[in-house]
Amino acid sequence: MIWIIVLAVVVLLALFAVAAYNGLVRRRNQVDNAWSQIDVQLKRRIDLIPNLVETVKGYAAHEKTTLEAVINARNAGMSAANTPGAQAAADNQITGALRQLFALSESYPDLKANQNFLALQEELTATEGRVSYARQFYNDSVLGYNNKLQTFPTMLFAGMMHFTKREYFETDAASREVPKVQF
């Protein structure tokens, strides 16, 4: 009779361990998927920048420092490590540079009227929305994963199974301000 009770307890512990492990793997994979969505949208934005810079060059060639800031921010984004902190820092740099570039367009009415510039600006605006949504989904996924890691009794097994806490994708306060684009 005692053997049956011991066997039942062992089986229940094994089932719990399997369920906890599978739940952690599911959450970790969701976080990885959410990160890949952010990565896709950030790369999309980086790919739009050269076209925007070339369009602006034709109208504002003497605004070299602003154009160089945008190019440098793009390069920083392309070379940033594939971690939330590094990508967030690069994202903040790109957002600031683009904000300067769009502010520059106020001084050039012909540029503001250029169809190519307007189309690229619209693409970047749409991409910013996608980045924002992907960032929210990623951070929600990280929250669920980290909560699972830190709640009892899963936390007892998480360390043994080498699951580690994930970092949020956070922006700085300046990039949370909505840019003012006027026509």
Residue 25 dihedral angles phi and psi, to the nearest 5°: -65, -45
Q: How far apart are CA 141 and CA 145, in angstroms?
A: 6
Residue keyed to tokens 């605004």: 63
Query: What is the per-residue pLDDT for 37?
Result: 95
pLDDT at 177: 53
Cis upstream peptide for 109 (omega within 30°): no
Instruction: Indicate which CATH number applies to the domain containing 76.
Output: 1.20.1440.20
Expressed as residue numbers, the domain containing 32 is 28-176
Confidence of residue 10 (pLDDT cuts 50, 70, 90): very high
Is residue 164 included in any domain, yes or no?
Answer: yes
Q: Measure the CA dihedral 60/64/69/75, to 10°.
A: 100
Any domain includes 4: no
Count: domains in the chain: 1
- Cβ neighbours of 78 (radius 10 Å): 13
> Do residues 90 and 38 touch, judged by C-beta distance below 8 A?
no
pLDDT digits (tens, 9 = 90+) for 64-73: 888 889 999 9
Does pLDDT of 60 surpass 60? Answer: yes
**pLDDT score recorded for residue 174:** 54
Q: Report residue 175's pLDDT band, with 50, 70 and 90 as the boundaries.
A: low
pLDDT in tens, 30-56: 999 999 999 999 999 999 999 888 888
Is pLDDT above 90 for 23?
yes
Which region, left, alpha or beta, applies to residue 162 given φ > 0 means left and ψ of -120 to 50 means alpha? left
Is there a domain that residue 6 lies in? no
The verdict on residue 3 lying in a domain is: no
**pLDDT above 60: residue 110:** yes
Residue 182 — very low, low, confident or very high, per pLDDT cuts 50/70/90? very low
The pTM for the full model equals 0.81
Mean pLDDT, the chain, integer: 89
